[in-house]
Structure 1
Amino acid sequence: MVSRQLTVFLAGLILVAFALWQLEQARSGVSTRDMDIGATPATLYWDGNAAPSPVVVVSHGFAGSRQLMQAFSLHLARAGYRVLAFDALGHGRNPMPMSGDVTAIDGTTALLVAETRRVIAAARQIAGASGDVAVLGHSMASDIVIRAALAEPDVDNVIAISMFSEAVTPQAPARLLVVSGEWEARLRTVALSALQQVDPEADEGDTATSGDVQRRATVSPAVEHVGVLFSAHSLRESLDWLNRGFQRSEVPSVEPTGGWILALLIGIVLTFRPLTARLPQRPAAEPPTTKRLLLAIGLPMLLAPAIGVLVFRPFLPVLVADYLLLHFALYAGIQLAVLGRWPVQRGELSWTGLALLLTWGLLFIGVALDRYAASFLPTGERLLVIAALSLATVPFMLADSQVSGAGAGRWWQRLVARLAILVSLAIAAVIKPEELGFVLLVFPVILLFFLVHGTLGRALAQRTGTAASGIGLGLILAWALGVSFPFFAAG
C-alpha cells in the first residue's frame, strides 16, 4: 500500500513538472509587461524585437479575463505582433465595475465599447507599434470589438471568436474572420449568416469577397465555447487572417496549452490522494435510504428556483452572485431538512484534512489557474463577496456530501446530485431569463469545480468523513464563483 501511494504521488509530481515545463515553453521568447490604461489593467506581449509591428488588441468574454485569452496572446506575439490584452470593466483585476443596462446597446455595451476604444488608442502609442491595429474578441467581446472597430476608421482587421453581434452589415467590418467551435451550433449559424451577407452561396470554411469587404467563417473541430480558445485550428486561422491583412508571413509553431493545463490539474490532484492516506481513518456516515435520497435531490431541485425567483432582490455588487447565494442557501436548507441531520457532529471535523484540501484547492490549483488559464486571485473587494457566498455554499456542500455519498457514494448517486443543481439553476434562468439568464454562464465554473475540486473532496471524505470535505469544498466553491463573475454597479 505504501509503495502504491508513493508511486501515485511521484507520478503526480512528474506530471506537474512536465506540464509546467511545457506551459513555460509556450511562453518562452515572449516578453510581457503589465500596464494600466487609465483604470483598465492590461498586459503587453511581444517577442522582444524592436522592429515596428501591428498591435492586436485582445478582449475576453463575459466572466473571462486576460489569462483566458493567453493562447492567442502568446501565439500572435511569437509571430512578431505586439498584443495588448486587457481585463474589461468588472472583470479580472479591473477595479471599475460594469454598469448600465446589460440588455441595451446604449447601456453596458456602450461603456465596454468606449473602454475598448481607449485601449485601441493606447495600442497606437506603444513603443514599437507600427500604427496598425487589429482587434480580437471572444463571445461577449466579439460584439464589443466589432462595434469598436466600426467606430475606428483605421481598424479594419477583426477576429470574432464565438461571435454573436447585430452590428455586422454586408459592408462592415471590412475584414472579418469568425471562428466558432464545432459544438456551438447556434453561434455557427450566426457566423454563417454573417458570411452569407457577402456571398449568399458561401459555406463554412469559405472566404467571401465583395469589393473591399472580405469575410471568412471557420469551425474549430471538437471544441465548445471555452475549448475554442485553446484550439490549434483557432490559433492558426487567426494568425493566417492577420498575416494576410497586414501582408506578413511569419508563422511560428502552434503551442496548444489547453491539454497541458488539464495535465497540470490532474497532476496536482494525483499528489493529493496519497497524502490523505496519512490522516486518521474515520468511520463513514450511514447513507440515507434510496427514498430519502431521491427526495433530498428532487425537492430542492424544484423548490429552490420556485421560491428563489419570487423573493430575489439584488444585494451584492457581483452580477448574479446574490442570486446564487440565495439559491444555494434554499437548496441546502431543503436538503438538510429532508435528510434530518446536520452533517457536522462533535469530533467529526478533521482540521488537518480541511487545511490540506484548502492548500491544494486554493493555493496550488489557484496559482496554476491564475497563471495559465483564468483570473483566480481575488482583489480585496471580491474577498467580501466570497465571504458572503460561503454562507450558502458551505451548507450546500455539506448537504451535497451526504446526498452524493461523498467518498462512498455510487457513481449514479454523485451524477444525479450534480445534475440536479444544474437543472435547478437552469429552471431559475428559464423563469426569469432577462434577470437571471446570466446564471447559465456559471455552468462551466461548477462543472470544473466538481471535476477537479470534487475529486479532491471525495478522496478526503473517504478518509475523514464528510465534514472537512464539505466545509472545504464549500469555501472553494464560494471562491471560484466570487472571482469568476464581474462586479456590477446598477445605473
Structure 2
Amino acid sequence: MLAPLQGLSVTQMPVGEIPATLYRPAAGGPAPVVVIAHGFAGSRRMMEPFATTLAQAGFIAVTFDFPGHGGNPTPLAGGLSDDAAAAGVLMAALGRVVEAARPLGDGRFALLGHSMAGDIVTRWAIAHPGAEATVGLSLFAKGATPDLPRNLLVIVGAWEPEILQAEARRLVGMAAPGGVVEENVTYGDPATGRARRLVLADGVEHIGVIYARESLEAARAWLNAAFGRSAAGLVDARGPWIGVLLGGLVLLAWPLSRLLPRVEPLAQGGGLPWRRFWVVALLPAVLTPLVLRVVPTHALPLLLGDYLAAHCALYGVLTAALLWRLGAPRPRWPGRPGGAALAAAALAGFAILGIGLAIDRFALAFVPAPHRAWLVPVLLCGTLPWFAADEWAARGPGAARLAYPATKALFLLSLVGAVALDPPRLFFLVIIVPVMLVFLLVFGLLSRWAFRATGSPWPAAAANALALAWAIAATFPVVP
C-alpha cells in the first residue's frame, strides 16, 4: 500500500487554519496543479488515492480539509439548514487552497471533488473559468451549462442510486448529440474546453468509487487529455488491500478473544425466544424515527452526529423498557467487575488502536482532532444505551436464533426510515448506512467472540459504544 508514495515528495502545506497536504514528484519540474476536495464527513486522507495516482503521473496534487471536517478547526457555518451559507464557506475555503497551490505549478490547474465537494468544485469552476478541467465523483452540480465547467468528467459508482447516475447523464448530456449519453465516450473537444465524459465504475458504491482503479485511471486520463500530457505511472491500488488488512485484523481478534477473562460462570442475557423477542426488536425501529421527527435533536455542534446519537439513545431506552415490560431477566452487575472492565478495555483498545489506526492511516480520519475530543464522552451517553440494551436483549440462554443480526438490520432500516420522514435534514445519513453496515458486521463479530469468552454482554456493549462514539466524533462535520 506504500508503493504509490515511492518517488513522491509529500509535505504539509497548511493554508491558514486549513490543513492541506502537497503531493508532487520528488524530481519533477513545473506541472499543472490538481486541487482535490473530499465529500461530506470525509477528510483529505480519504482522497489520497487520487493525489498519489496523479502525482505519479507528474501532476502536483493538493488535498485539504474543508471547514468543519477532519482537522480543520473552523466550524461549517450554515450546516444543512442554510445551503447558501454552507456553500459559500466551502467555496471560500476551496478558493484559498487554489490560490495557495496554483503558484506551485506551471500556472494551470484543475479541480477534483467527491460527493458534496463535486458540487462545490463545479460551482467554483463555473464562477472561476480559469480551471482547465473538473472531475466530479458522485455529484449533483447546480448551475452547470454546456460551456461550464470546462472539460467535465463525471464518475459514478455502478452500485450508486439511480438519482446520481441520472444526474451524471444530465450533465454529460449537455454535450452529447440529442442528449443521449453512452459510457466512456468523450463528447466535445478538450482543446475547446467543452469536452464531457461519463464513467460508471463497476462494482462500487458511494465510498468505493474513490478507491476504484477504474475511477483513478479515468481521472488521470482525463486530466492528461485536458493538459495535453501522456504520463502514466503507478495507480494507487490500496482499495483491495485495505479490505485485506482490516479483514486480517478482524480475524486476529478471534484467537485473541480467547485471552479475555471469564466474567460470568454462566452466560448472561435477556434470553427471550422469538415469540416475545420480535416485539423488542421491531417496536424501537418503528417508534424511534417517529418520535425524533418531532423532538429537537440539535444538542451538539456536530452535523447529523447529534441526531445519530439521539437515535441510538432513544432506541436503547425503548429496547430496555420493552425488555422490562415483557419480563426478561433483569440486568445485573457483572460477577467479576474487574474482569468485565479489563475485557471492555481490551476490546476497545483493539478496536480503536488496532482497527481504528489502520483506518486512519490508509482510509479516512479516525483519530479525533483536539477540538473534537470532548465530543467522544458526550456521544458515548447516546451510543451506550443502545448497545447495552441490544446486547442484553440478543444474548443469553434461550435467546432467539439470529437475534443479534436481526436487531442490527432493523436499526439500519430505522435510520433509512428517519431519512424518509425528513429528507432535507437527514439525507446525508443515507451515505453512512453502508459504512454503518460494515461497522456493525465487524463489531458484531467482536461482540460474538467476546461474549463466548466472557459470558457477559457488558464488555462488548461498552467497547462497541465507545468505538461508534469515537468514529462519529472523528468524522461528522463540526458546526457553530
TM-score normalised by length of structure 2: 0.92
Partners of 1:147 and 1:167 within 8 A in 2: yes
User: How many matched pairs?
Assistant: 465
- 1:192 paired with 2:180, answer no
Aligned twin of 1:3: none
Counterpart code for 2:188: T
**2: CA distance between counterparts of 1:238 and 1:164?**
18
Partner of residue 275, structure 2: 291
Say if 1:276 and 1:353, in contact at 8 Å, map to a contact too: no
Greater shift, 463-472 or 351-360, is seen at: 351-360
Is contact 1:343–1:466 with CA below 8 Å preserved after alignment?
no
* Distance in 2, Cα, partners of 1:147 & 1:407: 58
In structure 2, give the amino acid aligned to 1:182.
A
1:48 maps to 26
Q: Which residue of 2 aligns with 1:201?
A: 180
Amino acid of the residue matched to residue 207 of structure 1? T
One-letter code aligned to 1:484: T
Structure 1: 5+ residue runs without aligned partners?
A: 1-22
What's the secondary structure of 2:107's corresponding residue? strand
Give the superposition deviation at 1:297: 0.8
Residue type of the alignment partner of 2:84: D
Aligned pair 1:368/2:358, yes or no?
yes
Residue range with higher mean Cα deviation, 297-306 or 399-408: 399-408
Contact kept, 8 Å, 1:157 with 1:245, in 2: the verdict is yes
Which position in structure 1 is the counterpart of 2:426?
436
Pick aligned residue for 1:345 from 317, 326, 333: 333
3-state DSSP of counterpart to 1:472: helix
- The answer as to whether partners of 1:408 and 1:462 remain within 8 angstroms in 2 is no
Separation (CA, whole Å) in 2 of partners of 1:411 and 1:381: 43
1:401 CA drift (Å): 1.3
Equivalent residue, structure 1, for 2:12: 34
How far residue 71 of structure 1 moved from its aligned partner, in angstroms, is 1.0
Aligned match of 1:330: 314
Judge conservation of contact 1:407–1:461 (CA < 8 Å) in 2: no
Partner of 1:175: 151
Q: Aligned AA for 1:487?
A: V
Q: Distance in 2 between matches of 1:109 and 1:246?
A: 28
Residue-by-residue CA offset, 1:249-303 (whole Å, 9 max, x unaligned): 1111323111111111111122222122123343222511212211111111111
Distance in 2 between residues matched to 1:408 and 1:125, nearest whole Å: 68
Letter in 1 for 2:132: D
Q: Secondary structure at the match of 2:187?
A: strand
The one-letter code of the counterpart of 1:167 is G
Deviation at 1:432, TM superposition (A): 2.1
Shift of 1:360: 0.9
Of 92, 96, 102, which residue of structure 2 is paired with 1:114?
Answer: 92
Identity of aligned residues (%): 35
More off after superposition, 39-48 vs 26-35: 26-35
Is the counterpart of residue 478 in structure 1 residue 472 in structure 2?
A: no
CA distance in 1, matches of 2:335, 2:358: 34
Amino acid at match of 1:446: M
User: CA–CA distance in 1 between the matches of 2:332 and 2:475?
Assistant: 29
Matches within 5 A, 1:332-481: 332-340=316-324, 343-349=331-337, 350-405=340-395, 412-464=402-454, 465-481=456-472
* 1:92 paired residue number: 70
Partners of 1:295 and 1:389 in 2: how far apart?
27
CA distance in 1, matches of 2:377, 2:150: 47
The one-letter amino acid of 2:229's match is R
Contact 1:79 1:250 in 2 (8 A): yes
Give the deviation of 1:212 after TM superposition.
4.2
Contact 1:321 1:481 survives alignment (8 Å): yes
Give unpaired runs (5+ residues) of structure 2.
Answer: none
The list of structure 1 runs, each at least 4 consecutive aligned residues, that deviate by more than 6 angstroms after superposition, is: 406-411
Q: Distance in 2 between matches of 1:432 and 1:330?
A: 17
